[in-house]
Structures are given as structure tokens and as C-alpha cells.
Chains A and B, each alone.
Chain A
Amino acid sequence: MSVRVLELRNVHKSIKGKKIIKGIDLELFSGEVLGFLGPNGSGKTTTLRMIVGLIRLTEGEILIGGHSIGKEFVKAMENVGCIIENPEMYDYLSGWENLKLLASMEKGITKERMKEVVSLVGMVKRIDDKVYTYSLGMKQRLGIAQAIMRRPKLLILDEPANGLDPAGISEFRKLIRKLAHQESMAVLVSSHILAEIEMMCDRVAIIKQGEVVRVTTVENIVKDQGILWKVRDIQLGKKILEEEFQAAVTIKEDQTLLAFIGEEQVPGINKRFMEADVGLIYASRNQKSLEDLFLALTEGDEIV
């Protein structure tokens, strides 16, 4: 049974009189991967930093495993593993020394556990080298190792795929899904790579100008992802879709028609297009569903 691991209640943050976060409510359950999306300057990183106690709340409350991050910092943080922005480590120490240093700051992380996470992130060969010799991808792996070594109930990853090569990204995705579904961690991931989020996450929350504008399951996004038509006579095609099939239609940049409509209606529409001589070239499923949703929700935004 899934347990509520993280809860944000009406979280506000003002910095120097400027409202950065304007009342965020969010929940995260064990065994679930939540993607946190938002344009630059939307307050994504600020929110993540507030969750791990790096930034104080102006108003509201954040509970991790039932403990308030403001009032019971230590108890709350015992449940959290995180990488915030870049995976910075002490570069004059080796990877292993870094892990040892961080492990010694709390109880219960054994040497065996450390070895286990090192092999889990595929760093066994290089763990005794100094961190300044590491590539960004290797630092990222070390960062993940330190985040998961205490077996957190909540894992927070800010831009985790940064610097990983395609094979690394795919491995990382598998690791995250494994941690969530087998060890029932709750994972909160922020990323700009929407395709990545779509493949990795169970739910997404989209944040815009300090407010969560949409929380939905990836399943839902894929389900109403819409159908694309490439036709010669765009205006006529649009008119038919709107008038005869009551669909909401947008004309995309590449001069295709996008309509959110059930798949079962597609043969009928295609048949009607043929009859009306719209000049149908192809019809397809919209592949960039999350990107479209993201842009639709956040478009026209200035960075504030």
C-alpha cells in the first residue's frame, strides 16, 4: 500500500519582497516517480530547495514522512536523499572518500551498503580516483550513489540526466524505476528533457510562475495525446473537424492539424477528408504529447 511521503501545503516563498512561489500544494506517494516540470525561472529549483531545507519557507508547510522540514529538520531529512543542481563533490578527495565522509555524518550506513551503491551506479572501477578526474556523467553517478546510500523514502533529483550519455540515461532510468517500484521509494525528478520525464515518470506536475498549473498522470497525457493530420487544404480540414466532429483543433507550426479526439473516430474523419477533397497526405499519432501540453500551459511566458 502506498504511503504519503511528501506533502507540500500552501507553500509560499518571497525573496527580497518578490513572490517567487505563490502557494504550492503537492503530494507524493511511495513507489511513485513524479516529474517536476517548468520553464526557467518558474520556481522549480526553489521548490526543491525548500523541500530539502536549503531555503526557508515564507508561509505554509512541507512534511516529509510526517515531519515538518522547518520544525523537525533532522527527522525529516533522515528520509531524504537528494542531488540539487550539479552533483558537487569534494574534488580533492576520491569518490570513495567522499562517500565515506558523507556516510560518517549519520548513523547506519555500512561499508557493505556503500559498496552496494557504488556497484549499483556502475562506478566500481573509478571509485578510488580523485573526483577532479571525473567527467560530469561520473560525478552524476557518484551524486546518485550518495543520494541513495541511506535508503531514503524520498529521493529528490534535480536535472539528473545532465551530462549522462545515452546509455547512461537509459541505465539511470531503469535504476530510478527499480528504486521506485521495487524498494518503493518516492522519487521527485525535475528535468528539461520532456521525453525523459515521459518515459521515467508516473505523474507530472507542471509549474509556472510559482504555481502548479497541472498535475496529471503520464498515462492520461499519452491517452489524450491527439492525432495529427497533414492535409493540403488546412482551412477546410479544420472546418470539417470543428463542425462535423466537434473537435478542438490547433494548427501547428509545421502546418499540421492537431485535434484531441478518440482514436475510434479517425477512420471516419479520414473517409470524410477523402470525400471533401481536403488532400490528405498522412494522419498520425502525436508523438510530442508532453511537449505540447507543456508549451500549451506555459507558452507566452516571460521569465519573472
Chain B
Amino acid sequence: MYNLVGNEVYKIIMKKRLWVIVGILLILIGLFAYGEHYTRERTQNQIAERIGIDDVEDWREITNQQLMDLERRLDNPFIPEEGRAGIRVRAEQLRYYLAEDINPTTFSAAQFISNFMEQSIFLFLPLLIILLASDIVSKEATTGTIKLLMTRPVPRWKILMSKLLALTILEMIVILLMATIALGISYITFGIGGFREPVITGFRVVEGELDVSNIQTVSRGTYILMTYSLGYVVAFSIGKMALMVSVLVKSTAASIGIMMSSLIGGTFLTFFISDWEITRYLFNVNLRLTDFISGDLQPVEGLSLGFSITILLLWALASTVAAFGVFSYKDILD
């Protein structure tokens, strides 16, 4: 088994797929870092200009101003109730920062790293995993090399298991690559480390109200570890689903297409039919795991971290069962 997993990892590395992923990460994280840097500066300058202070480093004033802006928007009768809840949460967070003397406007390398995962967990990370996993069986079916594997004195389930384990290892590598590249680029862009700075986590929204009873303060370093672990949960389950599609569909293009469209289509669903009970059991609705710890509002009400992780793992389990069932019994006809 050890040999087989080694072979599969070797094949993925030799296919140079990982280099494509590194390339994409470098370009995207570079752009993201630049964008983040640019917007931060602009908002701070705008606010500073409006309230007539020269010192953009005075975070208390800026935060106060942001808070007032939010309260003003809450008075606006044209904002729908769903929007209000979000604003109320954000305002509550700012108030909390002010009261606890925590500066929310500083931007450190560490903050960028966790932000990057928060922003990519529901679309970009799954896309990378799809890129990695979608051809793992289908390419062997298209090129015919699957016949080489299946005519060894090795049972079929072991062949698929080796691919699954190799994939699980590479998902981890992708997460580590994301962290490393984000760290490298953000260090160049933002300089400051900031791994010890406190982060407040544990905000919860219950019926449009902010629940602060579970609030905890952790260091940014711990927070990064938490977000990237959640990222791994997403990578793990998306990988298993992509593996299943790769078993079911012979063409790699179709396999990537199916995974991408269900990922993006699911995101649309959350906007349009978010009050339909069944949507909460879709995997795509449950991808924003980091929002639970950062305190952002979930698109569908009533989700919790435990629930979302359970749903994702159930999807992974069901996909794995289906993949093994089909792979072990299918006829290789061409």
C-alpha cells in the first residue's frame, strides 16, 4: 500500500499539476496583497480626510467614525432587514474593539494570511483542489493507463485507496503552500509580523442579534492555525467529491466542468433560495467555515460550525462510498 500511495504522489508531482497551482497562488496572492494594501490605505485616508485629522494612525478616531457611519446606515429605512442584521453585527464588533482597546485597522502579515484563507475557502481553495483532483482517475481512463493499473495483481479497491490517500496528502500540501506563499508575499508587502496580536472570535448571530456570550480572545497565530485547519476540512471534502466525479466521468474536462458548475451553481442557490430548508444540506452552502470564527454573517440562518463540518464530512463520506462502489465493479470497455 505504501508503494502504491508513493506511486500516486509521484505521478501527480511529475504531471507538474502542483507547479500550476503554485503559479496561480503566486499571481493571485500577489494581486490580493496589493489590492488589500491599496483599499486599506484609501479607506483610512478617506475617513481621515472626512473627519479632518492628519494622523491616519489614530485608530480610535477612525474606528469611531466607521461605527458612526454604520449607525447612520441603520437609520436608513430603505435597507432591508437582512442587511440590517449584518450592519448591526459589524457595529457590535467595532464597539467591542473600542471597549477592549483592540486596534482593528492595523494590517499585519499574519492578518493577511488569515484573511486570505477567509476569502478563498468557499471558492478559490475548492477550485485549486478541483484542479488537482479532477483528473486523478479520469485522465488514466482517457489515456488508457488505467488498464495498466488494473491488470496488476492488486485488487481494485487498493488502487483507488492509494489515489485517495495520495490526494489527501496533496490537499495538505496545497494548504501548506497557500500559507507559505501568503506568508512570503505578505511579509514583503506589509512587513509587520503580528502573530501575537489578539483576535476576537466566537461571535454568533442568533435571530439577527449578536450573541457575545461565547467570545474568546486568541492570538493571531492560533487564529491562523484555526482558519487553515478549517480550510483543510473544505479541501478534504471537495477532494473526495472531485475524486468521485473523476471515477464516474471519463473525460477530465467534463469532470472539472461538473465540479466547477456545482460549486458555483451552489453559491447562486444560497442567494436565491436561502430560506428553502433543503439548501442547508448542500455542500456549497457550508463551505464558509471560517465565517463562524471570524463572526461574519452566514448566508443561511441556523448553521453552526459543527453542523457545517458534519455536512461536509458526510458529503465526503458519501462520495467516497460511491467512488469505491463504481470503481470496484465497473467494466473497462475502451
Please list the residues of chain A having a beta carbon within 8 angstroms of any beta carbon in chain B.
15, 49, 52-56, 73-75, 77-78, 80, 82, 84-86, 88-93, 97, 101-102, 104-106, 146
Instruction: Determine whether the beta carbon of B144 is less than 8 Å from that of A85.
Output: yes
Q: What are the residues of chain B within 8 A of A80 when measuring CB–CB?
A: 151
The closest CB in chain A to the CB of B150 belongs to A54
Instruction: Determine whether the beta carbon of B151 is less than 8 Å from that of A53.
Output: yes
Contact of A88 among B7, B143, B153, B156 (CB under 8 A): B143
Q: What are the residues of chain A within 8 A of B144 when measuring CB–CB?
A: 85-86, 88
Q: What are the residues of chain A within 8 A of B154 when measuring CB–CB?
A: 74, 77, 105-106
Instruction: Determine whether the beta carbon of A105 is less than 8 Å from that of B4.
Output: yes
How far does the alpha carbon of A15 sit from the alpha carbon of B3 in the complex, in Å? 35
In the complex with contacts A85-B144, A93-B14, A53-B3 CB distance below 8 A:
no
The closest CB in chain A to the CB of B144 belongs to A88
Binds A, one of B86-94, B265-273, B326-334: B326-334
The closest CB in chain A to the CB of B15 belongs to A92
The closest CB in chain A to the CB of B151 belongs to A52
Report 28 cross-chain contacts, Cβ distance below 8 Å, ordered by A residue: A49-B331, A49-B332, A52-B151, A53-B150, A54-B331, A56-B331, A77-B151, A77-B152, A77-B153, A78-B153, A80-B151, A84-B147, A85-B144, A85-B147, A88-B143, A88-B147, A89-B145, A90-B145, A91-B143, A92-B14, A92-B16, A93-B11, A101-B11, A102-B152, A105-B3, A105-B4, A105-B149, A105-B152
Please list the residues of chain B having a beta carbon within 8 angstroms of any beta carbon in chain A.
3-4, 6-7, 10-11, 14-16, 143-145, 147-156, 329, 331-333
Contact of B148 among A53, A73, A146 (CB under 8 A): A146
How far does the alpha carbon of A90 sit from the alpha carbon of B143 in the complex, in Å? 8
* A284, chain B: closest CB distance, angstroms: 43
Instruction: Determine whether the beta carbon of A74 is less than 8 Å from that of B153.
Output: yes
How far does the alpha carbon of A137 sit from the alpha carbon of B133 in the complex, in Å? 32
Q: What are the residues of chain A within 8 A of B156 when measuring CB–CB?
A: 73
Q: What are the residues of chain B within 8 A of A102 when measuring CB–CB?
A: 148, 152
Q: What are the residues of chain B within 8 A of A105 when measuring CB–CB?
A: 3-4, 7, 149, 152-154
New contact pairs (8) apart from A56-B329, A106-B154, CB-CB < 8 Å: A73-B153, A73-B155, A74-B154, A77-B152, A86-B144, A89-B145, A105-B149, A106-B153
The closest CB in chain A to the CB of B2 belongs to A104
* A20, chain B: closest CB distance, angstroms: 10
Instruction: Determine whether the beta carbon of A54 is less than 8 Å from that of B147.
Output: yes
How far does the alpha carbon of A251 sit from the alpha carbon of B85 in the complex, in Å? 94
Q: What are the residues of chain B within 8 A of A101 when measuring CB–CB?
A: 7, 10-11
How far does the alpha carbon of A101 sit from the alpha carbon of B151 in the complex, in Å? 14
* A75, chain B: closest CB distance, angstroms: 8
* B329, chain A: closest CB distance, angstroms: 7
The closest CB in chain B to the CB of A101 belongs to B7
Q: What are the residues of chain A within 8 A of B331 when measuring CB–CB?
A: 15, 49, 54-56
Q: What are the residues of chain A within 8 A of B153 when measuring CB–CB?
A: 73-75, 77-78, 105-106
How far does the alpha carbon of A86 sit from the alpha carbon of B144 in the complex, in Å? 8
Contact of B151 among A54, A92, A93 (CB under 8 A): A54
The closest CB in chain B to the CB of A98 belongs to B148
* B4, chain A: closest CB distance, angstroms: 6
The closest CB in chain A to the CB of B149 belongs to A105
The closest CB in chain A to the CB of B156 belongs to A73
Instruction: Determine whether the beta carbon of A54 is less than 8 Å from that of B332.
Output: yes
* B7, chain A: closest CB distance, angstroms: 5
Q: What are the residues of chain A within 8 A of B7 when measuring CB–CB?
A: 101, 104-105
Q: Top 10 closest A-B pairs, CB basis?
A: A88-B144, A77-B153, A54-B332, A55-B331, A78-B153, A105-B152, A104-B3, A74-B153, A52-B151, A88-B145
Q: What are the residues of chain A within 8 A of B149 when measuring CB–CB?
A: 105
How far does the alpha carbon of A94 sit from the alpha carbon of B11 in the complex, in Å? 12
Q: What are the residues of chain B within 8 A of A54 when measuring CB–CB?
A: 147, 150-151, 331-332
